[in-house]
Structure 1
Amino acid sequence: MSRNTVQPNGWVAIRLPSEVTRVLQVVPHTTISLGKYGSFPSNLLIERPFHLTYEIQDKLDGESFPRLRVVPGTELNADKLADVSATESADADEVIEPANGEELTLVDESGKVVARSTREVIDESARQTLTMAEIDQLKKEGAAAGKELIAKLMLSHTAIDQKTAYSLAKYKLLKEKKYMRRFTVLPLDVAMLGHWMLFERDGSKVMEMRQEMIGLLGCWADVHFGGLPIDGEQGPHGGRWLAVDDTGGLLVAAMAERMGILHAEPLEGEQATKEAVEDEENPKTQPAGDEADAAVADPSASPKAQRSRPKRPRKDDLDNHYALTNSITLIHANSQPNLSLLRHFDYEHSDPNPPYPYHPLFTNLLPISWLQLLDPESDPTYSEPVPEVDSDVLSSWKTNRRANYHRKRRRWARTRQIVDATLAGGFSGLAIASTMDPISVLRHALPLLAGGAPVAIYSPTIEPLTQLADCFSIGRRGAWVSNPPAEAEGKAAVELENWPGTAEFPINPALLIGAQVQTSRARRWQVLPGRTHPFMTEKGGASGYVFTGWRAIPAEGNITARGKFNNRKKAKTG
């Protein structure tokens, strides 16, 4: 099965004519409702490509469900491709030039008069001869997917001949957004999910992090595919990133997408199973020419299809459960991390025993709590191993008791592997999007990074990041070298990496170089022939800022300059 088509039980983004985005799961044999735009069977979208625009048609006689029509690109862009230069040049004098002693009339996008000159006032509502009752009746009838209603609205407009070609196109576009029963199916990626959360849902749950900030975090943290495990090497090695995510999993999803571990591989043989189910559901009473649509869309025929999954490989409870490279170690503050947004990518983080084959995030996403990082012996899950039981005694237990025993041993083994690998350090980068104080986070996270590892921190406001940048300023670093605090004297570089901080030096300023704070915001533009301009209004809220820097390893001992020097004295001139 290809990721370029809509998958059963997969998540998609549907763009409506009103530019509103809906995120939903395409469950087979169900009905998808788009509110006033209509509803249709979900099976009509399965195995069809993304980026197609559909039109919900009227029900045919004898059918209980509406069909979908793929709208071609020529029809979608007919107004943009139309040649209006001749009309505009011919009507330019009549439309633009006012009469003697008169001023131009100001109208908004919908054609409603905002302000006018001393010309006779025309009632705007009187221009449309259709009453609201007649419009409601046409909407209920839903003839021709809303095109008939739009045509009657335009024909009933008494001043339609006074509009320019551009004004007429804009008027038609507004009516299409309001009445046309069309929608576009888009793949749900990280950018689309962030846009949906920010504009359609609650932006505070993702810390109002826009697409520009997501891109900056991934670039400055240098998140990329970290390579495959090295044969024969047992300990952790390169391609491991550290993350602190308070956005519900949006940051983790963005990092996983860059690392190639966000999506699960399709099941082998599932396409053949799906085709067999469709052949079984195909009735012979459907009209010719649309047999495939009608057979798949009929909700009455819905036998359950069992997916052919490979068997789970048996392994010891104490074996390594997580990947050694190309992984994300997530530090969280609760007993379980908040990764609710990852369910849109078919990963359920709360399931400790998912079906095989595993999702890549199950083996490459390593959650660890702050308690396990700072004081692992205080966590009973880490410090209290499950005692081993003889096989004879284990076989005499009931099934539920045996399953609980294996589950506890696997959980203890996973926790030990995560904590030991995290404390070993050597991470390739650090990405943070958290409401916690960034100084306190870096105080414990910086020592875990390898030399030269990038650091990227997002904050909705600039104040926490400017305070953090001041901790690594050149002046503060010079004061640390020339006049170190009394608490730091006589300590080795390893001990100074875990510096608890003082009022003057909240964190060791020698651990990070190149500290800077930046922001970026892309403006939306209207791009139409002859009238390209940026939108004057857009969503407010937090602008968002990103702190960047690189992990430094302070040199121990005195530093001396070596090399050949030219000590020639300048010749004296008489």
Structure 2
Amino acid sequence: MTSTRQQKQLQSLQQQDPESIDYSHEFDQTHIKPGQYVMIRLPSENFRVLQLHPGQTVNLGKFGSFKVDDILNHPYGYTYEIGADNKLSIVNHNYELDNQDEPVSELAPHENNRELVDDSSVQGLSMAEIEELKKGGLSGKQIIEKVKTSHSSFDKKTAFSKEKYLKRKQQKFLNQFTPEPIGSAELIDIYLDKDASRIQNMSEESLALMLSLANVRPGGTYLVVDDISGLLVGAMMERMGGEGLIVVAHDNEHPNLDGLRYMNYSQGLIAKMIKTVNWLEFFEPSEIEPFEEKTTEELQQLKSNQRGQYYRRRTRYNDSVTVQNLISNSGFDGLLVATGLHLASLIPRIIPAVGGSRPIVMFSETKELLTETTLVLHKDFRVISPTILETRLRKYQTLPGRMHPHMTSRGGGGYVLWGIRVFPDENANAVGKVHRKRKATDSGTSTPAEE
């Protein structure tokens, strides 16, 4: 019965025109849906990326296990605690200090941890005893309470030290997790954890700067060179909300957009928003094979598989015509580049495809490549004011009366080159202000000198 229903749905989809399908619902990231990739945030500040399927059981190591069915169709953002028999309960907040009704005030001048002895001897519970508490079914919060009570120097700590101590214990003992949807920021975290070179060590700040400088918006048409696993294209799709067109230029048989699968976009949406062109077709376009349109009556006489083939051929034809028209007529609203190719020789050749007063934005992991490109663009009158920018966010620990940067953080993040595409007038000459001399007359007055 189920197989028959699926076949009917497949036939209905093949009969429908792909260009008429509405994909706006795919940007609804409010509830967890079956088959989606989800980021699971753990108390240890690590994460897991999972594709959730009904009936699946997920093992989170020391934090416990849970059944996927218990979180499907629930809203994102809730924090769940794994209890006995892997039952989940929603928690509203983390462990807090007892009797702390007011926020921590500034440290008094005499408050410090100078006399504090903080080694293993002050902890009354051994690791074996803590493991017995876990086996006894105690929750993470109860274990933290017992560890705190058995700590002989806990009351001697300042309020700030107590908060830091409890945070470390939360990361170690709380059996909690938080499912989050995967967007462009989460995709950066995934690749930085797996292999940062696949996205050229791009930071979240550099990606946001590129999208802002390129004026990426719904309904825009953009030329993109993405050699960072689809991170740039995915961020643009997220910002455009399913409206607009992205043309991806690439040097292989197919572009590498592997990261899009984590963002849960359907193949239909990707085919609608993304068109591809290799560099050979970009610089030396071949003649497009003509396509014959069929009438509604002719389409109704076709079988379902023939109708599907017709729509696919028509889509390929329309895509080729659209891309070639955009390239030849300077129809792109912006150019965004993140590639390992030699920018100084590549960019001047693709500038003609960009419309006037439109932004050109490039990313590179190293500043030297952009510096060379800047020197080339300074001599190219088609781009004005090429500027290299760098953005870097350093995280700080802020407490009342005290603030200092985190001692360890990831360096780098890359550099961004930005300029504006213009159409120079070869017949125009720059003319400065003309100072006309005045000659004296017999009456003592002066008149403008004749030219």
Q: For this structure pair, what is the TM-score category when the shorter chain's length is used for normalisation? A: 0.7 to 0.9
8 Å contact 1:87–1:165 — kept in the other structure? no
Matched, 1:456 2:361: yes
- In structure 1, distance between residues paired with 2:40 and 2:98: 23
- In structure 2, distance between residues paired with 1:363 and 1:210: 28
| Equivalent of residue 12 in structure 1, options 38, 47, 59 | 38
Specify the code of the residue in structure 2 equivalent to 1:446: I
Post-superposition offset of 1:421: 3.6
Post-superposition offset of 1:45: 1.8
Specify the code of the residue in structure 1 equivalent to 2:387: Q
In structure 2, the CA distance between the partners of 1:544 and 1:562, relative to structure 1 (3 Å rule), is closer
Report the equivalent of 1:336: 254
Specify the code of the residue in structure 2 equivalent to 1:439: A
Matched, 1:347 2:275: no
| Equivalent of residue 520 in structure 1, options 365, 369, 391 | 391
Report the equivalent of 1:193: 187
Matched, 1:260 2:241: yes
Post-superposition offset of 1:566: 9.0
Report the equivalent of 2:328: 423
In structure 2, the CA distance between the partners of 1:369 and 1:42, relative to structure 1 (3 Å rule), is same
| Equivalent of residue 72 in structure 1, options 67, 89, 92 | 92
Matched, 1:247 2:228: yes
- In structure 1, distance between residues paired with 2:239 and 2:78: 26
Matched, 1:22 2:48: yes
Report the equivalent of 2:281: 372
Matched, 1:530 2:448: no
8 Å contact 1:79–1:169 — kept in the other structure? no
Report the equivalent of 1:489: none
8 Å contact 2:216–2:240 — kept in the other structure? yes
Q: Deviations over 1:517-551 (max 9, x none)?
A: 110101112133333322122013x3310001111
Of stretches 410-419 and 125-134 in structure 1, the one that deviates more from structure 2 is: 410-419
Post-superposition offset of 1:173: 1.4
SS of the equivalent of 2:29 reads coil
- In structure 2, distance between residues paired with 1:134 and 1:189: 42
| Equivalent of residue 177 in structure 1, options 159, 171, 176 | 171
Q: Deviations over 1:202-233 (max 9, x none)?
A: 1111111111101110111111123xxxxxxx
Runs of 4+ in structure 1 off by over 4 angstroms are 75-82, 84-89, 92-96, 104-107, 382-389, 397-410, 560-563, 565-568, 570-574
Specify the code of the residue in structure 1 equivalent to 2:384: I
Matched, 1:31 2:70: no
- In structure 2, distance between residues paired with 1:165 and 1:562: 68
In structure 2, the CA distance between the partners of 1:21 and 1:557, relative to structure 1 (3 Å rule), is same
In structure 2, the CA distance between the partners of 1:385 and 1:87, relative to structure 1 (3 Å rule), is closer
8 Å contact 1:329–1:422 — kept in the other structure? no
8 Å contact 2:210–2:336 — kept in the other structure? yes
Aligned positions, number: 413
- In structure 2, distance between residues paired with 1:85 and 1:245: 48
Report the equivalent of 2:152: 158
With structure 1 as the length reference, what TM-score do the two structures score?
0.64
Matched, 1:546 2:451: no
SS of the equivalent of 1:371 reads helix
Report the equivalent of 1:202: 195
- In structure 1, distance between residues paired with 2:112 and 2:160: 12
What's the RMSD between the two structures over aligned residues? Answer: 3.6
- In structure 2, distance between residues paired with 1:216 and 1:86: 37
8 Å contact 2:32–2:74 — kept in the other structure? yes
Percent identity between matched residues is 35
Unaligned runs of 5+ in 2: 1-24, 447-451
- In structure 2, distance between residues paired with 1:383 and 1:95: 77
8 Å contact 1:510–1:554 — kept in the other structure? yes
- In structure 1, distance between residues paired with 2:315 and 2:111: 81
| Equivalent of residue 375 in structure 2, options 470, 484, 492 | 470
Structure with the higher fraction of residues in strand conformation: 2
Report the equivalent of 2:426: 556
Post-superposition offset of 1:329: 0.8
8 Å contact 2:106–2:400 — kept in the other structure? no
- In structure 2, distance between residues paired with 1:409 and 1:510: 40
Q: Deviations over 1:314-361 (max 9, x none)?
A: xxxxxxxxxxx8211110111111111111233355xxxx5xxxx2x3
8 Å contact 2:95–2:170 — kept in the other structure? no
Report the equivalent of 2:4: none
- In structure 2, distance between residues paired with 1:440 and 1:221: 21
With structure 2 as the length reference, what TM-score do the two structures score?
0.80
| Equivalent of residue 134 in structure 2, options 136, 139, 145 | 139
- In structure 2, distance between residues paired with 1:437 and 1:81: 59
Post-superposition offset of 1:197: 2.1
- In structure 1, distance between residues paired with 2:401 and 2:172: 25
- In structure 2, distance between residues paired with 1:436 and 1:125: 55
In structure 2, the CA distance between the partners of 1:224 and 1:81, relative to structure 1 (3 Å rule), is farther
Report the equivalent of 2:211: 218
